[in-house]
Amino acid sequence: MKSIDKIVETLIINGTLIEQPGLFYGKTGIAVFFFHYARQTNNTLFQNYAFDLIEEIQQQITVTFPARYDVGIAGIGTCFEYFLQNNFLEADDDIFEDFDARMYRAAFYEPYPDLSLEGGITGWGRYFIYRLKGSGEKNIKLHEALTHIANFITQKVLNNEVLENEQPDVYRFLYDITKLSGYEERYRKASQLSMKWECIHQPEVNKFFPYMHQLPRLYACMNYFKIDLTEKINLEWEKWKEIENHSLSNMGLLNGWTSEGLMYLLHMHQTDFSWLQLF
């Protein structure tokens, strides 16, 4: 297990050098770590570093930036809303003006990709759900866009057109939207149908969310599928602690140095589980 000091040093040196601003591989994910670390250490220098990253992100993104969740506007905007909802950031709602406009255009005027979270429309839907749970609650256009996406996904479910590898992400989208005020009944039928999918009804945890490390995957499965994975999680923690040099391919939130740092804080009970909801 790498020391937290080594993780912090590596992220500080590399954070502003990374060109990618997105959530899974770029600066947005790194900002998540430094906000959590600043809160744990009560050190405003780390908070200021996160603010610097946010300023750079805002300068990088344009109206033509991709809508994708993993590297694009959907993930960045979702994370900004996460910062607001967790009191890491205070901002006027106009911080989302360009995000909302870009995602609205994607929802209504761009060809729909697949149904995945990373590059597909369940990732777009995740953005609108987060916004409507928070500062965008009364924004009519956000409701319109989410409804448009949800209707498309629902039709795919009703027509049995959801590929097996897309089913976990579709299930999660329907699970989340039926927890959103005003949407419970509208999409309950599709949600109930998704619960009958074999991979959901008899979940094989290791097959789900292949982009995640095992620990985040286990937490996600325990949250969404309501199965007790405590024993498996404890075993994974023991494996994680024994590895001196994890193979980390990037700085980001997805399987990178940022993820390693947040896992360290979580293991030491120095932060909460909220950041896992960003996967």
Domain with residue 119: its CATH number is 1.50.10
Domain count, the chain: 1
Task: Report the pLDDT value the prediction gives residue 244, as an integer from 0 to 100.
Answer: 55
> Which residue type sits at 123?
G
60 vs 107: CA distance, rounded Å: 22
Cβ atoms of 241 and 215 within 8 Å: the answer is no
Neighbours of 180 (CB within 10 A): 19
Contact 193, 161 (CB under 8 A): no
What is the span of the domain harbouring residue 198? 4-278
Neighbour tally for 28: CB within 10 Å: 29
Residue 201 or 160, more confident: 160
Which pLDDT does position 243 carry in this prediction?
A: 67
pLDDT at 242: 73
Q: Could you tell me the CA-to-CA distances from 175 to 5, 107, 147, 168, 199 in Å, in that order?
A: 38, 20, 15, 10, 15
Q: Cα–Cα–Cα angle for 78, 267, 228, nearest 5°?
A: 80
Q: State pLDDT tens for residues 127-138.
A: 999 999 988 888
Q: Residue 181 above 70 pLDDT?
A: yes
The three-class DSSP label of residue 105 is helix
pLDDT at 92 over 70: no
Q: Does pLDDT of 262 surpass 80?
A: yes
pTM of the model: 0.92
Question: Mind listing the pLDDT tens digit for each residue in 202-252?
Answer: 777 777 887 787 888 888 888 888 788 889 888 888 887 776 555 566 888
